[in-house]
Structure 1
């Protein structure tokens, strides 16, 4: 089971700064002045914005700092545009989480690959790997240097960090970076979908961990099936073209959800029977094979029936 939290915290914008072209940094503190929920590298929070939008942003500060959360927000889409244009110092927001489907696992070595704003979850991972004395390196790409956030933070690590703006070096040379990794090395990658797909093609099975900001393209049958809800004592039919999430919500069953496209992990649900047809962009291959949990906003059934803990 992946780490998750439904805790909602009222936060105040303590600091706001331009980190790079199109990227603003927010530092948040608890509105009551207390400690914020703890987190580990790879975690994100959902910002519940006043216009009704919910958006997920990776925590990129220091997990040991219990008083503040640090976010980096790329201006891309309505949610982040709201943050850039209408969120100011002293404003109060509601954050849900933290939640972590991209947790840093113990390993003797790491290759971190970041594209653009994908550096945000990677930044605390680099700090943790460095503090642990692990063998690590980071390959960080972006369209141009002026649009790449946190370069000052990363300069502290010297030549372990390879910054490769596309306008200076072209696309990241994954064919040079991925072969020949030492046994046990884990690859953590976050960035745009073309980069993630290219890394998946080249990476050894079991070594790769990814986080997506947009849903991975999926295809598959769209046949109707039944879901038995053990906590509600009901059995519902999920029709063709309808998701499990939509079906249970229409039946009055409350389920926590956010992105509705299989990227955030908020709707993760325990599977007690049947075989899920996983179509999310969150679970690892090992978690999919285990079949104990599924994202009901996009995933379906490989068979006529699923039994869920709802």
Structure 2
């Protein structure tokens, strides 16, 4: 689905300490849009806040979507709202599914999960034949590790609760991997960087936040959130709106666009969720997001306007 549709929360169940499982269904009983492992939904909460949550259920089940939501008390308030104001019968606006973390064909897989990062990996594990994959799953403690009972029954799964076992042995698990192994990692930024520093083979990662202290697109040192407001000023033409605006240094492209298109879709404002992806008609965008791959950035056909800017004096967007 590309437009926002209302789905009803059928049930809410605790999956672990601080993690709620939500089951969503169409209120009319209609089949839901198909999806593949690694996909996520864009969810509009009752307050109007927009958040992105990975699908962790069974792609073959077209009657429901399943989500796992970690309560982050120091977050931006979305997960807190889910845990305190969303219950059975609540209507949520849903757009998607989208998939920027697809499962690619490989001879063998190693999955590394940290905390709630297990959610997009679960459908991948279920879709693969036994013996073709292994999982290293770290968490704060066993009670805080969602879906641990399902996973602990599988011989190819290693659970590492930090309070009793310390940190996962990344050097040990990555050393000597067979050629052709695809490594998938999802979890906190520290875990992702540690894996990136140790593994030079095929690596697939998904972030739940912008990489702090570096430009998410280039790895260069910048403060999080500054990329969208720095640099030189430039003009942006909004082709469908028939307006041309000046984006001055110190102002984000998204802020300028919202003056003319107040309903433009956006969510994270940090370049990691993909909600504000916009088609570029002309000009050379300057990317600062962690959504697009290097080939996609080089093509210059789309950009994330929350953190992106322009390398050329003028940028033309399909807005």
- TM-score, normalised to structure 1, is 0.90
Is the CA contact (8 Å cut-off) linking 1:101 and 1:265 kept in structure 2?
no
Tell me, in whole angstroms, the C-alpha distance in 1 between the residues paired with 2:274 and 2:131.
29
Q: In the TM superposition, what whole-angstrom CA distance separates every residue of 1:28-55 from its partner, at most 9, and x where no partner exists?
A: 1111111112211111112211122222
**Deviation for aligned residue 1:134:** 7.3
2:277 aligned to which of 268, 273, 276 = 268
Tell me, in whole angstroms, the C-alpha distance in 2 between the residues paired with 1:148 and 1:302.
44
SS at match of 2:128: helix
2:53 aligned to which of 57, 79, 102 = 57
**Deviation for aligned residue 1:101:** 1.5
Asked whether 1:223 is paired with 2:220, we answer: no
Please name the residue that 2:209 is paired with: 214
Please name the residue that 2:14 is paired with: 18
- TM-score, normalised to structure 2, is 0.87
Asked whether 1:152 is paired with 2:149, we answer: yes
2:138 aligned to which of 136, 141, 162 = 141
SS at match of 2:117: helix
Counterparts in 2 of 1:157 and 1:287: CA distance versus 1, 3 Å = farther
Q: How many residues align?
A: 302
Q: In the TM superposition, what whole-angstrom CA distance separates every residue of 1:74-95 from its partner, at most 9, and x where no partner exists?
A: 1113211111122222222222
Q: In the TM superposition, what whole-angstrom CA distance separates every residue of 1:135-190 from its partner, at most 9, and x where no partner exists?
A: 211111001111000112223432x1111111122112222222333333222111
Is the CA contact (8 Å cut-off) linking 1:272 and 1:307 kept in structure 2?
yes
**Deviation for aligned residue 1:243:** 1.9
1:65-144 pair list within 5 angstroms = 65-76=61-72, 77=75, 78-130=77-129, 135-144=132-141
Counterparts in 2 of 1:174 and 1:275: CA distance versus 1, 3 Å = farther
Tell me, in whole angstroms, the C-alpha distance in 2 between the residues paired with 1:201 and 1:235.
43
Please name the residue that 2:218 is paired with: none
Is the CA contact (8 Å cut-off) linking 2:135 and 2:158 kept in structure 1?
yes
Of 290-299 and 146-155, more deviation after overlay is shown by 290-299
**Deviation for aligned residue 1:26:** 1.1
Q: Return 5+ residue gaps in structure 1 as ranges.
A: none
Of 109-118 and 284-293, more deviation after overlay is shown by 284-293
SS at match of 1:248: helix
Asked whether 1:298 is paired with 2:307, we answer: yes
**Deviation for aligned residue 1:254:** 4.6
1:259 aligned to which of 260, 268, 271 = 268
Tell me, in whole angstroms, the C-alpha distance in 1 between the residues paired with 2:245 and 2:180.
44
2:2 aligned to which of 6, 21, 25 = 6
Asked whether 1:40 is paired with 2:49, we answer: no
Counterparts in 2 of 1:194 and 1:307: CA distance versus 1, 3 Å = same
Is the CA contact (8 Å cut-off) linking 2:241 and 2:260 kept in structure 1?
no
Please name the residue that 2:219 is paired with: none
1:171 aligned to which of 167, 172, 179 = 167
CA RMSD of aligned residues (A): 2.0
Is the CA contact (8 Å cut-off) linking 1:110 and 1:134 kept in structure 2?
no
